[in-house]
Structure 1
Amino acid sequence: MSADGVETAVGTAQTPELTHFRDGLPRMVDVTGKAATARTATAEAWVRLPPEARAALEAGTNPKGDPLTVARLAGLAGSKRTADLVTLCHPVPVTGAEVYVTLEAAGVRIEATVRTTAPTGVEMEALTAVTVAALNVYDMLKAASKAIEITGVRLLAKSGGKSGTYAAPGQAG
């Protein structure tokens, strides 16, 4: 039983030991003993635009300015602030980041690649970058339409660390 009176089954045969909880309490995993290695992660997000928002973007008549440029800058800033937003995420030194924001037939596609040399990965930094960028596209275009949708936030690839390489289905490894 945990300190708050809730029964727990941490570390039993039925449930694996939880990495971010100990004795029923949240904790940050200790990575002190892990070697710093080169790590990279790439993520994407989509912003689906209704016709009126797309028209404002294509015509350059958006009163707030260029949403794609603002989104790119916001994504870069977001990659560096991930530990402030994701509660149990380690702050890692972002040693490189690129954010690409492009208008495509399906909407605005955002892709971010983040790199570090650290004892833990940068998947959350890449995911935060694309999410923050997408939120900024919404913010910049919301006067044209409130029906804008943020979709398809996902990890495309990662490398480095104990878990090795990952590539989402359909992605080159």
Structure 2
Amino acid sequence: MTLPERPARYWLMKSEPDECSIDDALAAPGATVPWTGVRNYQARNFMRDEMRIGDGVLFYHSGCPEPGIAGIARVASGVRADPAQFDPASHYYDPKATPDKPRWLLLDVQAIRKTRLVRLAELRAHPALAEMRVLQRGNRLSITPVQEQEWAAILRDCLGGKAAGQSN
């Protein structure tokens, strides 16, 4: 018995552009990059338990002078162990992680297109986005869910179009 497909979900994924920018992702083979370095359990659990191939991604530049949405992407793989956790030379090394019991996961993200930069102030100016997780006080998660109506409002009102797979 096969289970019915679930509707696509949407995510905002933060990356520091000096580690991996939307331009880096677009230049990668197949425009696909491994999303490494997630070291927050809630963000890891989103990847492990909720994210699926084909889900939409707002590619967000953070930790830079002008943070904001810089592109549209999609989840391109299931999860697997993040190898950086096993590398003592890596900034993301975790001495408690072992290959038979990894603590940290990654998945691949495929860039679809670069967009103009949609800054936080612009997101905050839209009433339809008032409840968006990235705009909530104290939110520092690197991966947050985006509601379908938020995704549609960003594409329509901020980016003036549709992303691949978007039917609204």
TM range (shorter): under 0.3
Greater Rg over alpha carbons, structure:
1
Q: Which has the higher contact order (CA 8 A, sep 6+)?
A: 1
TM-score by length of 1: 0.24
* TM-score in terms of structure 2 length: 0.24
